[in-house]
């Protein structure tokens, strides 16, 4: 939705490589790691190349370890395991110039990637709510 606005916005792009790196809890050097939402149940995990600066107070930076990254991924997967869709997956974070600058892991497959001057970026976190609370995917809801 936001990526179609053009201008100073990048986008997310689905990626099996990014997905597998999160599933394997691969901690990549030269990246900064963040999560959004509660620590026990993040709504998204974000990694951004060190040469870019994330400009947002809505993400929590964390020092990645394989164990911690695995825990965050498993918490997201466990919480949404009953959904047929959406299901957590990995996406490339693509800057306005087309460069892949990071990775995103979430059930949410869209966000605004705002490109700012001097290699700064604002990646908007997903909503904090469960998709069912907003009436999204009610047809998939199981009792």
Percent of the chain with pLDDT over 90: 66
Only one residue has tokens 């998939």, namely 140
Q: Can you tell me the distance from the alpha carbon of 8 to that of 35, in angstroms, rounded to the nearest whole number?
A: 23
Residue with the larger pLDDT of the pair 37 and 86: 37
pLDDT over 70 at 94, yes or no? yes
80 burial level (CB within 10 Å; 0-12, 13-18, 19+): middle
pLDDT tens, position by position, 120-137: 999 999 886 555 554 444
pLDDT over 80 at 139, yes or no? no
Binning pLDDT at 50, 70 and 90, where does residue 138 land? very low
Structure tokens at 94: 């693509």
């Amino acid at each position: 939705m936001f990526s179609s606005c053009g201008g100073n916005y990048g986008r997310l792009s689905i990626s099996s490589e990014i997905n597998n790196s999160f599933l394997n809890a691969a901690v990549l050097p030269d990246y900064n790691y963040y999560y959004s939402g509660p620590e026990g149940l993040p709504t998204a995990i974000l990694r951004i190349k060190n040469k870019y600066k994330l400009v947002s107070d809505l993400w929590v930076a964390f020092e990645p370890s394989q164990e911690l990254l695995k825990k965050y991924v498993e918490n997201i997967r466990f919480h949404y395991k009953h959904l047929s869709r959406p299901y957590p997956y990995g996406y490339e974070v693509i800057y306005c110039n087309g460069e892949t600058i990071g990775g995103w892991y979430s059930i949410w497959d869209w966000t605004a990637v705002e490109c700012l001057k001097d290699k700064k970026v604002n990646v908007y976190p997903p909503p904090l709510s469960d998709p069912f609370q907003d009436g999204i995917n009610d047809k998939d809801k199981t009792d």
